[in-house]
């Protein structure tokens, strides 16, 4: 096996993940330049940049390398599929919190074909009821504790996921982090 073939294989293997990293980097830079106001546009710009780069690399590998053409086409299609799937995962990950309420509203509206008035939708989101349900789930799941007067966070997978999501939200969307690092240190020391 010659050095060119090994290099070609290495490029083929790493092309999709590198293009996803480029996608994310471009998306973050674009969102930061626009002050986070063009979030969806930044996602599209990042995705398109990554897919164009991947297509250029794959075309180079198919046509300019001494490799089996059909094998190169199938490897390129595989890389494109991998790129799409990883990009979809990234997009889904950063949109989880944003879309949860929208999905619930759409669900409620689809169950009411005659439509709903604005006050009916607000009635579905009784904040006291929603908070009570969430607190109950958090207590039952062992993620928070209640001493009869106050609620306290516990170290849990949910807390760690929250910290990770908030950090990504800060990096990607340039949004203020909604927790105090000094308070988290106290939680981790005391629990």
Look up residue 34 and give its two tokens.
Answer: 């626009």
Q: How confident is the model at residue 23 (pLDDT cuts 50, 70, 90)?
A: very high
Positive or negative: CA dihedral 173, 175, 178, 183:
positive
The answer to the question of residue 52 being in a domain is yes
Q: Which of 97, 114, 135 is the last residue of a domain?
A: 97
- Number of domains making up the chain: 2
In this prediction, residue 91 carries a pLDDT of 84
pTM: 0.57
Q: How confident is the model at residue 43 (pLDDT cuts 50, 70, 90)?
A: confident
Note down the domain range covering 85: 3-97
pLDDT of residue 61 exceeding 80 = yes
Q: How confident is the model at residue 191 (pLDDT cuts 50, 70, 90)?
A: low
In this prediction, residue 52 carries a pLDDT of 96
Residues 88 and 130 in one domain: no
Residues 130 and 184 in one domain: yes
In this prediction, residue 51 carries a pLDDT of 95
The answer to the question of residue 119 being in a domain is no
The answer to the question of residue 21 being in a domain is yes
Residues 22 and 65 in one domain: yes
Count how many Cα atoms sit within 13 Å of the Cα of residue 102 in the half-sphere of its side chain.
Answer: 5
Residues 130 and 93 in one domain: no
The answer to the question of residue 92 being in a domain is yes
The answer to the question of residue 117 being in a domain is no
pLDDT of residue 176 exceeding 60 = yes
Q: How confident is the model at residue 1 (pLDDT cuts 50, 70, 90)?
A: low
């Amino acid at each position: 096996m010659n050095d060119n073939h090994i290099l070609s294989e290495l490029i083929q293997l790493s092309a999709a993940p590198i293009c996803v990293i480029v996608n994310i980097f471009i998306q973050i830079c674009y969102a930061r330049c626009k002050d986070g106001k063009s979030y969806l546009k930044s996602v599209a710009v990042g995705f398109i940049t990554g897919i164009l780069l991947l297509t250029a690399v794959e075309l180079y590998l198919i046509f300019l390398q001494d490799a089996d053409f059909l094998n190169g086409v199938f490897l390129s299609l595989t890389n494109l599929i991998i790129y799409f799937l990883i990009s979809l995962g990234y997009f889904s990950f950063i949109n989880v919190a944003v879309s949860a309420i929208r999905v619930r509203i759409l669900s409620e509206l689809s169950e009411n074909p005659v439509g709903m008035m604005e006050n009916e939708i607000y009635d579905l989101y009784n904040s006291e009821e929603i908070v009570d349900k969430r607190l109950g789930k958090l207590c039952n799941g062992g993620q928070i504790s209640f001493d009869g007067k106050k609620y306290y966070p516990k170290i849990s997978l949910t807390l760690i996921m929250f910290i990770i999501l908030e950090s990504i939200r800060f990096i990607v969307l340039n949004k203020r982090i909604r927790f105090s690092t000094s308070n988290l240190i106290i939680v981790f020391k005391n629990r």
